[in-house]
Structure 1
Amino acid sequence: MLFNIPPILSPDLLWTLQAMGHGDEIVIADANFPGTSMGARCHRLDGISATDALDAVLQLLPLDSFVETPATTMQVVGDASAKPEAVAEFRRIITDRTGAEAKMGTLERFEFYERAKKAFAIVQTGESRIYANVILTKGVIA
């Protein structure tokens, strides 16, 4: 056990967060996301919501301040302007954890999948809400 480490983060996931470099990306995904077939490392957090996973990860991972949108979500198929409940919570968590208004982009479903395939890792949660998927770009600690 360690002090100040969110207990939902496994040792393997902690290694991944530490091993990632500036500009590397990690996906936090809902239970329906095809995480294992994406080819990246896939860490499972069954029974944990995507919003709880995001909050825990952001306690340790700095977001990239050199890119326009260090957080990117998946658009709702057929309604790109829709804002799912989980995405609204992602925005709140990012704003709370970073102390600044969240800079978030969106990608069409298959564009999101293609970008996720290139991610350093995927965190597959037990989140049952659909479209609860976000790609984070790691920054540096000043």
Structure 2
Amino acid sequence: MLKGIPQIITPQMLYTLSAMGHGDSVVLADANFPAYRIASNHTLVHIPNISICEMLKALLQVFPLDHLHESAGYVMEVDSEDQRRGVKTPIWQEYSEILRKDNNKSKQVLGSYSRASFYAEALKAQLIVLTGECAPYANLMLFKGVLN
């Protein structure tokens, strides 16, 4: 245990976050994300009893967001079949509220990638945190910035 480090950030996460460089990414993954396949060459931490919102709040206490990206965070776009079925993504509003508190107000808070692009970007992520989040389309990608 360390002072000032949220308890849900594991030692392995802290090490990986610390070793990441500017522009490296972390994926906060929902329970349905193919994390074991995607993270085959990178660090995977499985914390099944935590929501992505809880993890995001903790992560932002130690993780500077990249101001060079167009958005503070990125979600996976709802595919056309799920749009036809009426799948909703209320969790995105929660992410926006959390990120807005930590974000430069002139920047778009949430951007999105198509499913294929999100998976392609996730393959490059240095860290994937597999949570117990069950909300649809809850995966969130963040890019590391620099400390001022």
Q: Tell whether the structures are fold-level matches, with TM greater than 0.5.
A: yes
SS of 2:71's partner is coil
Structure with bigger gyration radius: 2
Q: Distance in 2 between matches of 1:8 and 1:70?
A: 22
Contact 2:57 2:98 in 1 (8 A): yes
SS of 1:103's partner is strand
Identity %: 40
Query: Letter of the aligned partner of 2:94 in structure 1?
Result: E
C-alpha RMSD of matched pairs (Å): 1.8
2:63 is aligned with 1:61 = yes
Shift of 1:19: 0.7
- The correspondence for 1:86, drawn from 83, 87, 91, is 91
Q: Distance in 2 between matches of 1:91 and 1:16?
A: 25
Q: Distance in 1 between matches of 2:23 and 2:66?
A: 7
Shift of 1:83: 6.0
SS of 1:42's partner is strand
Query: Letter of the aligned partner of 1:137 in structure 2?
Result: F
Q: Distance in 1 between matches of 2:98 and 2:108?
A: 9
Q: Distance in 2 between matches of 1:114 and 1:94?
A: 23
Shift of 1:43: 0.8
2:115 is aligned with 1:113 = no
Cα distance change, pair 63–46 in 1 and its aligned pair in 2 (3 A) = same
Residue equivalent to 1:34:
34
Contact 1:69 1:103 in 2 (8 A): yes
Contact 1:55 1:97 in 2 (8 A): no
For structure 1, list consecutive stretches of 5 or more residues without a partner in the other structure: none
Residue equivalent to 1:140:
146
Contact 1:75 1:107 in 2 (8 A): yes
- Number of residue pairs matched? 141
Cα distance change, pair 92–102 in 1 and its aligned pair in 2 (3 A) = farther
Contact 2:23 2:143 in 1 (8 A): yes
Q: Distance in 1 between matches of 2:58 and 2:36?
A: 21
Shift of 1:69: 2.0
Query: Letter of the aligned partner of 1:94 in structure 2?
Result: L
For structure 2, list consecutive stretches of 5 or more residues without a partner in the other structure: none
